[in-house]
A and B are shown apart, each in its own frame.
Chain A
Amino acid sequence: MLDAYFLQQLINGLTIGSAYALIAIGYTMVYGIIGMINFAHGEIYMIGAYTALIAITGLAALGVAFLPIVLLVALICAVIVSSSAGWAVERIAYRPVRGRHRLIPLISAIGMSIFLQNYVHLAQGSRNMGFPLLIEGGFRFGAEGDFQTSISYIQITIFITTLICMAGLSWFIAKSRTGRACRAVSQDLGMSSLLGIDTNRIIAATFVIGAALAAVAGLLLGMYYGSIDPLFGFIAGLKAFTAAVLGGIGSIPGAMLGGLILGVSESMTSGYLSGEYKDVVSFGLLILILLFKPTGLLGKPEVEKI
């Protein structure tokens, strides 16, 4: 069964999936700490992609062509802008409503998502913009004449970048002072603040970290897909959220696992059924997981507090 075509779908799926995982981190960390879905996270990722594209085009206009420099500058710009946006979103839309009836932050988040989507839409138009594939080429294997499996360099880049980010994040959460505080806050927010942890700062940090990783994904997926538009964060955000839930929301390895499973099942649907139905499959997967194992694959069971 492991034919070349299957292998190709698997590779494509793992690529997309690992990028989903990067976005999913933002959902999972925020949910882990304040228990809300940051609906605007997909838009943060979209803003990252736009910033990266603007930086790349700007550098091209300035005549900078050395690839590592272009990528690095685009990455830094995207990360800075997205993180700032993430910080601002938390400050404006979430912090003032924290602790109110659960519908209120949720609606605020949806409002923020609509706002940001239309902000970019108005500023940059609704047309999709071609995103240059800066990392070209790849290699193929398999018999000539048959279907050849190919792996492009961009796919490898996406996969490796994700692994590096995940490893870095895990290290950060496990070892750094802020990371320890993050874990404490997600255990018990009230207690942590009594113990002198600046919870506001930690929550803001969570948003910033999530946004930064989303920006990385924005640059990578922008290149991979070859074009972006203001709506492209919305669906990607939903997918990433699905990945987070699939793996067990609140769990960082879970986000990785969920992302990969989702990516692979999507690319298998596209490959064997029809690209039109891949969204149906991922939403279906989300619904099934929530119904039968709402804690996800690696999540911890929750006990209802009475």
Chain B
Amino acid sequence: MATSNLKHALFCAIITLVVSYPILGFNLVSQGTSVGLEGANPTTVTAVFLAALAVFLFQLFRDQIMSGLGRVPKPALPTTRNMSDATRVRMQNLIILFVVIGAAIWPFLASRGSVDLATLVLIYVMLALGLNVVVGLAGLLDLGYVAFYAVGAYTFALLSQYFGISFWVALPTGALLAALFGLALGFPVLRLRGDYLAIVTLGFGEIIRILLNNWTSLTGGPNGIGGIPDPTLFGMEFGRRVKEEGNISFHDFFGIAYDSTHKIIFLYLIALVLAVMTFFAIRRLMQMPVGRSWEALREDEIAARSLGLSRTGVKLSAFTIGAFFAGFAGTVFASKQGFISPESFVFLESAIILAIVVLGGMGSQFGVILAAIAVTILPELAREFSEYRMLIFGAAMVLMMVWRPQGLLPMRRIHIHLDKPE
């Protein structure tokens, strides 16, 4: 046993070296048209050897380490288990209420930059909640989710450019159009098995991006579309000067000095309201027959069919509803940026949203919201780490699947009270 362990540990260490040394130990440098080679700095090389050593030691003492880890008591999570269910639900609602009120007051105290970032966080919250329906509840791996986000954003951009349509008209239009796209794309592909579906949605996402990039006459191609209007509040504009005839500007109406943060805060509040709406709408859906059938299909498709659930119908509803919320988020995003281009809708974006759902806990709304906040804010806080962001996301996705596939804050089943039958 010991010798086979030693052999295996040695093998693993060598593999570590082979995989990391050539890539990390040498740096390719462009020299005009040709390429030169430099040795990496000694710290990197030392790190590579240390990593190999660590792998060796871990594999050698694997059994001991694993059994040691098993003995470490699991950190006791605060449980609400002994609370009655009615109390828990009431507590939960109270907490949500406080958080929402806090979130609504906060922008008036915070800096302009952080409010802007918070708006982005809320957009990601919407996206992640929407994707959570598709991936977490219905169990459909959609890798092209960003396409629906793009549909929402481009709907607003194009409608405002060509027809001068305002944010408030574009918001439902964008979401409905995204949903329609979801329906149209979903209809043919949802018959496919899970892994095929993943790759086909990925393909669709790429196709949409390529089309946006190349249909220059309509979308401006890689240059994107600018001049997307800000939302208005009952016809009041937030710019210094009124752009549209008949409108009045916000600061004139209230007789206060012009401040560009008004607009930022207003957008943030819109995003907050939409995110909260998304949250409650989906929470409600989860307790409705449609939401239960999503989960049923995820758990056992054959059993679901045998009970009269139409596979296509159920999947389509999840796909469409997920797309709808992505369209919402897209419209807000377009309005926040004032400018959009295909670059904002690459596969990486889909991967980030997926990472949020997976890390938070598939199906768990609270988990997904927390993960959206963490994933968007952490790279901003630790800027020196921001280039490692995707590396860490990738690794985290693997580790989560291996060790904790239910996510950081796993989904909790809702307790259903039954009256005792006579």
Contacts and interface: CB of A to CB of B under 8 A. Distances in A.
Contact of A108 (B36, B191, B192, B398): B398
Nearest to B395: A115
A84 B398 CA distance: 18
Contact of A84 (B15, B37, B188): B15
Contact of B402 (A93, A117, A241, A245): A93
A56 B202 CA distance: 34
Interface string B26-39: 11101001111100
Contacts of B18: 80-81, 84
B394 A111 contact: yes
B203 A124 contact: no
B278 interface: no
Contact of B198 (A47, A106, A294): A106
B208 to A, nearest CB: 10
Interface string B184-211: 0000110111111011101110110011
B189 A290 contact: yes
Contacts of B393: 111, 114
B23 A287 contact: no
B165 interface: no
Contacts of B139: 101, 103
B302 interface: yes
A93 B22 CA distance: 22
A287 B200 contact: yes
A147 interface: no
Given A53-B35, A286-B203, A36 B405 contact: no
A53 B37 CA distance: 10
Contacts of B34: 130, 132
B207 A284 contact: yes
A49 to B, nearest CB: 11
Interface in B324-351: 347, 351
Contacts of A103: 135, 139, 141, 194, 362
A106 to B, nearest CB: 6
B236 to A, nearest CB: 43
B353 interface: no
A97 interface: yes
A102 B195 contact: yes
Given A54-B28, A111-B395, A122-B387, A106 B37 contact: no
Contacts of B397: 107-108, 110-111, 114-115
B213 to A, nearest CB: 7
Interface string A76-101: 01001100110110001100110011
Contact of A286 (B200, B391, B394): B200
A105 interface: yes
Given A104-B405, A283-B207, A287-B188, 14 more contacts: A53-B28, A84-B15, A87-B15, A93-B398, A93-B401, A100-B405, A101-B139, A107-B141, A108-B398, A116-B394, A124-B27, A238-B203, A238-B206, A276-B210
